[in-house]
C-alpha cells in the first residue's frame, strides 16, 4: 500500500517572462512570489491556496508556457508505476522527481512528500 495527493500547481513560464509572471500571480493571489533558496527557478507563493503549493517555475526561453501539477507520495516508485499502469508515460527523471505525460498530453510530476506530514496524512488517498 502507498498514499498520494495533489501537492501543487506550477505556472511554468519562459525565463524572460518569469519575473513578470511572479509579480502577476502574486497580485492575483496575495502572497509575494519568493524564490526557493536552493531552487531559484521556483518562485513560491506561500499560503496562496490552503493545502496547495503554488508557484511560478522559470523554464527555457523557447519552451511554451504551461501549467503542471505535482503529485506527492510516500512511495515514488509505486506511485509512478501506478500512474504508468493507468496510461501515463514517463518522459524524464531528475533525482526523486518523475515527470509523466498523461493520456491527452498533460504534464504531471511524482515527487516525495513535500507537505507538512499532518496535511499529507489527513488528505492523501491510499492505493492497494
Give contact residues for a copy of itself (rule: CB under 8 A): 5-6, 9, 11, 13-14, 17-18, 20-21, 23-25, 27-30, 48-52, 56, 64-69, 71, 83, 86-88, 102-106, 108, 123, 125
> CB of 113: closest distance to a copy of itself in angstroms?
16
Contact 111, 7 (CB under 8 A): yes
DSSP states along 67-107: EEEEEEES-HHHHHHHHHHTT-EEEEEETTEEEEE-TTS-E
Residue among 38 and 40 whose Cβ is closer to a copy of itself = 40
Residues facing 122 on adjacent strands: none
> CB of 95: closest distance to a copy of itself in angstroms?
22
Closest among 109, 107, 82 to 95, alpha carbons compared: 109
> CB of 30: closest distance to a copy of itself in angstroms?
5
Amino acid at each position: 500500500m502507498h498514499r498520494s495527493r495533489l501537492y501543487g500547481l506550477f505556472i511554468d513560464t519562459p525565463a524572460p517572462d518569469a519575473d513578470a509572471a511572479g509579480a502577476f500571480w502574486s497580485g492575483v493571489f496575495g502572497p509575494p512570489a519568493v524564490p526557493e533558496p536552493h531552487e531559484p527557478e521556483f518562485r513560491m507563493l506561500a499560503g496562496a491556496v490552503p493545502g496547495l503549493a503554488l508557484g511560478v517555475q522559470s523554464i527555457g526561453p523557447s519552451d511554451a508556457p504551461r501549467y503542471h501539477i505535482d503529485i506527492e507520495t510516500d512511495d515514488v516508485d509505486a506511485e509512478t508505476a501506478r500512474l504508468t499502469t493507468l496510461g501515463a508515460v514517463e518522459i524524464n527523471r531528475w533525482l526523486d522527481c518523475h515527470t509523466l505525460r498523461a493520456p491527452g498530453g498533460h504534464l504531471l510530476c511524482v515527487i516525495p512528500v513535500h507537505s507538512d506530514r499532518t496535511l499529507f496524512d489527513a488528505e492523501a488517498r491510499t492505493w492497494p
